[in-house]
Structure 1
Amino acid sequence: MRVKGGEIRLRQLCDQTRLLKRFVKYLGKNCNVADITTISLQQYRTNLVKSGNAASTVNNHISVFKAMFNWAMDNEVLNAVPNLKAIKKSSCSKQTKFIFTADQIKLLVEANTQMKAMIWLGLNCGFGCTDCSELLWKHLDLDNGRADFARTKTNIGRNLPL
């Protein structure tokens, strides 16, 4: 329903469903939602960390089950939920940013036309690979030098100079 209403994208719904299925698998499919405790959630978080998941993956799992419990409370499906504030997100470690070498920059400058177009879209508009692959002619206003293209995941509009 939220996808049809344009609140979220189908991709986000699929991601959330996949994460919740993993959560259910961890708890056991016969686990009653009323039996899920704060300790259960903390143990699940610990399990995700020990399984070698990146901090962002762990945080995505936490966000999804917190959203589920908050929705259940807001819609009076549950009278009580675990203490969600006790479930802390993982801190993302600062990683060294990749820096191109002189040889790599030379290759980029000498790239074919299609690659140059993607490079310019990345530099001027902040587009990534997915943005470039999903960009259609209807998103471009070549007369005014603008790209009108919503973010793929959030559907938030962007009207950017080319």
Structure 2
Amino acid sequence: MRDDIERVLIDEAVIQKRLDAMALDIERDFPGGTLVVIILLKGALVFAADLLRRVPRQLEIECLNVASYHGGLESSGKVDFLDRHFPEVKGRHVLLLDDILDTGRTLHAVERRLLEEGAVAVHTAVLLAKDKERAEEVNADYVGFEIGDEFVVGYGLDYKGRYRNLPYVGVLKPSAV
């Protein structure tokens, strides 16, 4: 797998240090009560596990399976909700976790749906946010790292289901595509 990586963009130690700071920000911004956390699968799973272990409060954790890349290098432009069950959010504050903010379509669609389902407020946290113009006007409340507009894998992010288990974020070689 390492041979498929052009370069390491963010190494594991840097990621872990940033997650410490993000957890402190989340704890500061959500005093008291149980927070509903919704993890977007599969990409945000590694990020969410490491981040949420650092948040010293009562959490109700739910997962939501959505897809927009469908195995390609770019968003398809369509966000599909793949689960039959939708988390109960009526009257609750929600923290939505995703791996990467790219076109904005996924966060926009899920946030809109959560508000339609009765969430009081939806706050978003992403490991990565690409510095690019978005198809939807959306910003994350908590961002691990701003990156350029390149295709990255590792730390939960994948290409065709591979590379999620890399402990860092790396740029995939064009020859690996």
State TM-score, norm by structure 2: 0.24
Higher relative CO (Cα under 8 Å, sequence separation at least 6) belongs to 2
Structure with the larger strand share: 2
**What is the TM-score normalised by the length of structure 1?**
0.26
